[in-house]
């Protein structure tokens, strides 16, 4: 259900390299090379490729988890891969120039050793035929033991191009086919928006009604929360899944749908005034599913079937009530760990915020209704697709459960979605009456191919270019000094997203790490602007008093930029760390945190149902946990300087209070 999908990143240059007697590992297509990595060792391989070629290789991780780095012919690191711990680790690249591309294989944990094999599967021209290109992009997942995905393009309500690969169910050997319903996560939110507007049209509610009119058990906050606030993520409520994560919930445990109500009831005050700030929020959309049930007297899944899916002849679309609800021909989701792929259940109680299973063909029918207004009428469609406005008059790029913005000169409706083991991207260009849909049941899937798919089918229709995305040919001509790169390094924090990013300067390049993700290379467009993952993201530095003050990050397919502030270096002593140790209790979360220290003199957090977690210092009195609860812990001091509590935040859920307990 993530709104801000995790960022994969790409910078400057080292000297060109050439094949030498020492570097003799030239990968030939379909030739497997078996090797053993020793501790701290890395292996180099080269691929001779022509311009505009598609390279697809894979490393079979036998007894070691590897990281793969790709370098262009000038020696610039352009991509890094480490999506699985065991089994196949695929890597792909579209070449822009002919030359020798280097592949470096090293252990993800440099202190380990083990066996692996590497093979170049494809080294071929990128085809002009879009159907062949779809097959090429999905080829890394076209295996009998690998979860797969589907990509579909549609026009005027009809599918024009579609390709699927991999498995829908590994246990039963069922291949992934385009007619199989798949979980679309938060892409479901636009359907909930339609439900609210249909109920308003029927006279059963108004989007400007106070939420307490339908949920009188909720607190009487200082300002009214309206249904419209829920639809536009401007309610000020806690975000349910991030909130539950703070108390050790890991995603697949049972959650009753009424838990959303209970979370709101425990909230002492709003995080912001209704309409003041957009903060992506699943709580509100789950409440709207319950609202449908209260005003209609029907289960949400039944009401949606009768009032939306059946009228639009969406015969393979369902609201999955819970992970036990059997979806006919539905696709199983898969996560991966040290044992390989594992079946993963859907989020409980997601309907309203997610939980819809559908197909490419049905998404084509749904999308065409944006043009025809067959369901609801054109006036309702206008309401559904009109972006919200904050209290201060600032326009948003989010309408009623749907992103709406200009992309390269074309109006685009879009949304991304993620459940426990399904990822989705959806875009529709109303002027063209065309759209595209990507869905996978594989958490190791390379979602970066989304940009390539969009440009493949709609590039000729774009009327504007984007430097961040298009200007990739000549960026390798820019070289920055090690001294200057060192000035750009540091830790940067986004209050809105609740995440910290570290930028490191090494090997004449900058690399970026989000939370616990892999370090990924960046490519310089200028002294203060960097391209990320073939234009998937853009990073700009901001200055204050001639010093770096922060960065902004823009996803390639969005007009929004997210601001990150540079943090001061914070390296607490052992004595300072001891000040934070103790037990802390949150009445709102009803959970106890035990803060201690380990043998490495790092601060730790122990929660009853989780292993010991390490806390990383980010700024004075603030520590981050980036593997499980994904939160910042801000320690609170009284007037005398004594630590008395913790304020816990992760962007979507902010300032959850813990009180230090007396010994």
Angle formed by the axes of helices 189-201 and 282-296, to 10°? 40
The secondary structure element, H or E, covering residue 101 is strand 99-107
**Residue 81 neighbours by CB under 8 Å, 6+ apart:** 67, 68, 69, 70, 89, 90, 91
* Residue range 538-589, pLDDT digits in tens: 899 998 888 889 999 887 666 678 899 998 888 999 999 999 999 999 999 9
Stretches in the chain below the pLDDT threshold 70: 1-24, 465-478, 507, 515-517, 533-536, 556-559
Dist. CA 611–CA 520, nearest whole Å: 28
* pLDDT of the residue at 17: 39
Domains of the chain: 182-461 (3.40.710.10), 475-566 (2.40.128.50), 574-660 (2.40.128.50)
* pLDDT of the residue at 257: 87
Per the listing, tokens 């891969």 go with: 81
* Residue range 309-336, pLDDT digits in tens: 999 999 999 999 999 999 999 999 999 9
* pLDDT of the residue at 558: 65
Dist. CA 450–CA 523, nearest whole Å: 20
Distance of CA 406 to the CA centre of its chain: 21
Nearest CA to 559 out of 455, 469, 442, 626 is that of 469
* pLDDT of the residue at 392: 96
Tell me the HSE value of 568 on the side-chain side, using a 13 A CA sphere: 6
Contact 39, 114 (CB under 8 A): no
Contact 176, 166 (CB under 8 A): yes
* pLDDT of the residue at 517: 62
Dist. CA 209–CA 212, nearest whole Å: 8
* pLDDT of the residue at 463: 86
* pLDDT of the residue at 470: 42
**Residue 206 neighbours by CB under 8 Å, 6+ apart:** 200, 227
* pLDDT of the residue at 472: 43
Would you list the DSSP string of 206-272? Answer: -TTSBGGGT-TTS---SSPPBHHHHHTT-S-PPPHHHHHHTTT--SSS---TTHHHHHHHH--S-SS
* pLDDT of the residue at 523: 83
Dist. CA 196–CA 376, nearest whole Å: 11
């Amino acid at each position: 259900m993530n709104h801000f999908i995790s960022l994969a990143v790409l910078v400057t240059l080292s000297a060109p390299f050439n094949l030498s007697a020492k570097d003799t590992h030239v990968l030939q297509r379909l030739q497997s090379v078996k090797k053993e990595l020793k501790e701290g060792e890395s292996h180099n391989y080269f691929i001779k490729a022509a311009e505009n070629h598609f390279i697809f290789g894979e490393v079979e991780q036998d007894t070691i988890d590897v990281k793969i780095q790709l370098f262009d012919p000038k020696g610039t690191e352009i991509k890094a891969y480490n999506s699985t711990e065991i089994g196949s680790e695929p890597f792909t690249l579209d070449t822009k120039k002919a030359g020798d591309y280097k592949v470096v294989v090293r252990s993800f944990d440099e202190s380990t050793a083990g066996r692996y094999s590497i093979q170049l599967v494809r080294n071929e021209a990128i085809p002009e035929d879009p159907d062949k290109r779809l097959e090429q992009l999905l080829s890394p997942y076209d295996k009998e033991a690998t979860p797969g995905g589907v990509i579909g393009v549609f026009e005027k309500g009809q599918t024009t191009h579609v390709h699927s690969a991999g498995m829908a169910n590994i246990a039963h050997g069922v291949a992934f086919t385009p007619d199989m319903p798949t979980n679309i996560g938060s892409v479901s939110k636009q359907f909930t928006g339609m439900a609210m507007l249909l109920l308003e049209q029927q006279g059963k509610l108004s989007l400007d009604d106070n939420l307490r009119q339908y949920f009188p058990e909720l607190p009487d906050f200082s300002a009214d929360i309206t249904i419209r606030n829920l639809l536009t993520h401007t309610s000020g409520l806690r975000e349910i899944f991030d909130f539950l994560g703070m108390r050790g919930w890991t995603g697949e445990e049972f959650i009753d749908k009424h838990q959303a109500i209970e979370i709101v009831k425990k909230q002492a005050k709003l995080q912001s005034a209704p309409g003041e700030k957009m903060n992506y929020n699943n709580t509100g959309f789950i409440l709207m599913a319950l609202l449908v049930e209260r005003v209609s007297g029907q289960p949400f899944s039944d009401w949606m079937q009768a009032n939306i899916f059946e009228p639009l002849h969406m015969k393979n679309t369902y609201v999955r009530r819970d992970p036990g609800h059997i979806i006919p021909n539905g696709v199983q989701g898969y996560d991966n760990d040290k044992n390989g792929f594992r079946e993963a259940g859907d989020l409980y109680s997601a309907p309203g915020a997610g939980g819809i299973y559908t197909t490419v063909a049905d998404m084509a029918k749904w999308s065409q209704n944006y043009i025809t207004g067959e369901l609801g009428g054109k006036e309702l469609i206008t309401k559904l697709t009109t972006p919200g406005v904050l209290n201060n008059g600032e326009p948003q790029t989010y309408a009623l459960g749907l992103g709406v913005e200009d992309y390269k000169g074309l109006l685009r409706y879009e949304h991304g979605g993620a459940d426990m083991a399904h990822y989705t991207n959806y875009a529709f260009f109303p002027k063209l009456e065309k759209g595209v849909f990507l869905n996978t049941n594989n958490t190791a899937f390379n979602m970066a191919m989304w940009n390539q798919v969009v440009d493949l089918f709609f590039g000729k229709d774009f009327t504007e270019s984007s430097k961040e995305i298009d200007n990739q040919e000549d960026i390798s001509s820019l070289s920055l000094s090690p001294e200057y790169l060192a000035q750009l390094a540091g830790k940067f924090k986004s209050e809105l997203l609740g995440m910290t990013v570290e930028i490191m300067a090494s090997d004449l390049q900058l690399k970026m790490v989000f939370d616990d993700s892999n370090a990924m290379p960046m490519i310089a467009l200028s002294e203060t602007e960097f391209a990320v993952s073939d234009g998937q993201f853009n990073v700009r530095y901001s200055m204050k008093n001639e010093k770096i003050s922060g960065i902004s990050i823009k996803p390639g397919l969005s007009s929004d930029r997210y601001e990150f502030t540079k943090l001061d270096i914070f390296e607490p002593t052992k004595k300072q760390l001891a000040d934070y140790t103790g037990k802390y209790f949150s009445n709102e979360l009803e959970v106890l945190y035990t803060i201690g220290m380990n043998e490495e003199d790092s601060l730790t957090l122990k929660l009853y149902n989780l292993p010991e977690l390490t806390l990383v210092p980010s700024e004075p009195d603030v520590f981050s946990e980036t593997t499980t609860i994904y939160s910042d812990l801000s320690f609170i001091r009284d007037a005398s300087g004594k630590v008395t509590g913790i304020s816990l935040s992760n962007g979507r859920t902010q300032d959850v209070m813990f009180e230090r307990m007396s010994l």
